[in-house]
Structure 1
């Protein structure tokens, strides 16, 4: 009598892949992909491709233009030695037709997948490793404030302008009232205490604010207060952004 012995072997992929999303105040974000060879042998990385959901489009930062041709930032060498790693960076943003849905995206969302084709030896069949991409959408509460326009630098004691965007992330209509509070480094110019109007759910509106900086260097923009007259709730926004303040250069007569 004969007995058949079946042995099972655990297959461990040689690549350890980590992904991280970096959120932005606008409808874009960055994806960092870290690929690390955790095996004891050399791995040939044949291709790394990103397949996004229909809502997003992307541009990769893994090539450089040299004499009119795009070349990989890692050069022609596509081998990963044992314990060697590599990083890939992608810039993602919402397509125009989906931009209005950005305020209602909550929780964990499917972003697409990352495909990595690799070989251990040049003569063997290529293996495909697929990484499903999921992202935890940032929570903004009932209202979201973002900056549409802000200068990189501002001149000391000279007015500069920023354009803010308010998005109603709730399911109720809002009636907004704006108030600005001065800080020790920046003062708001114009009338503090004005109506911004009514804002329907998932809708946005933009408004322009004027500021005056009293200190040099990197200064924080703070002190925006927006009240919803319907719910009687006030939303405070501090540390909205930073602006670098430079001294004024006056022309000599």
Structure 2
């Protein structure tokens, strides 16, 4: 069975601005075989003018094209958008009483895309033939919406209980994107870090220390449990750093929800940026060990400022 023929056609296009076209005129020399025939024809065209007797072209206004075939009446256009989750009514055009040959009904729609995946544009046209017979047809246009941006996030938990968020926004399309606004959604839920029954955090640490000279720093030891904890402190040397103190020392019992300050002394053996690490705490009841390998960083310099000032 042959498909039904309609008196109107439907075209869906991206809305584009009118453009200027510059056709290249074909000219000829008077000594050539055509003589001045081509030049005379070009001068009669609306986009050709002459300068110093020579034909030059002028830009021509080109608009997007539409078309119809015959005179019809009561032309209506309805446009819906079907996504993976919903169907949206984009436009319902009031019926046009009469549509003659070469006339068009233009419907401009605008929709902010908020979903990725397959979108189907459903266009329905209704009209009446010259004999007042109602006619209608639908056309479907499939649009694939790809993800334009990729966002990666990282969370950093500081010892001060602050949480830092790093967001990386990447353009994964083939063209440039202009970001008008970047906002953080109120808030986002993040589970706090699990420190276990005890927590050791820095409260005082120098930024610069002198090579092969002892320096001290302080930490806060907190008991987060509901029981009294007995701990044994172990100090292990790391590359570029050695401890001044007794390893395997038993600390004072720490009652529930309380804390105490601990003072440590170490000697840097190599210059540069060094990690303060190598501290371990052993819970004597649970036989559980809590290692602390990255408490902080210090920068080790070769000479202190006093020696530098005396040598000058």
User: Structure 2 length as normaliser, TM-score?
Assistant: 0.44
Matched, 1:218 2:273: yes
Is the 1:143–1:166 contact (alpha carbons within 8 Å) kept by the matching residues of 2?
yes
Q: 1:157 aligns with which of 212, 217, 220?
A: 212
Match for residue 29 of structure 1 among 163, 167, 190: 163
Give 1:151 shift: 1.3
Q: Which has the larger radius of gyration?
A: 2
Residue 232 (structure 2) pairs with residue 177 (structure 1): yes
Aligned match of 1:235 in 269, 274, 290? 290
Contact 1:167 1:202 in 2 (8 A): yes
> Offset at 1:36?
9.0
Q: Select the structure that is richer in strand.
A: 1
Q: What residue is the counterpart of 2:222 in the other structure?
A: 167
Gaps of 5+ in 2: 1-77, 81-86, 89-110, 116-147
Count residues with an aligned counterpart: 169
Structure 1 residue 159 displacement after superposition: 1.2
Deviation at residue 216 of structure 1 after TM alignment: 0.7
- TM-score under structure 1 length normalisation: 0.53
Q: Give yes or no for the alignment of 1:134 onto 2:189.
A: yes
Deviation string 1:10-50 (CA, Å, 9 cap, x unpaired) is: 96449979665432122222245678999xxxxxxxxxxxx
Q: How does 1:80-159 map to 2 (within 5 A)?
A: 83-85=177-179, 131-159=186-214
- 1:199 Cα deviation from its structure 2 partner: 1.8
Name structure 1 gaps, 5 residues minimum.
Answer: 39-81, 90-113, 115-129
SS in 1 for 2:190: strand
What SS does the corresponding residue of 1:198 show, helix, strand or coil? coil
Deviation at 1:213, TM superposition (A): 0.5
Using CA pairs under 8 Å that are at least 6 residues apart, name the structure with larger relative contact order, 1 or 2.
Answer: 1
How many Å separate the matches in 2 of 1:182 and 1:223?
A: 6
Q: Which runs of 4+ in 1 moved over 4 A?
A: 10-20, 32-38, 86-89
Tell me which residue corresponds to 2:15.
none
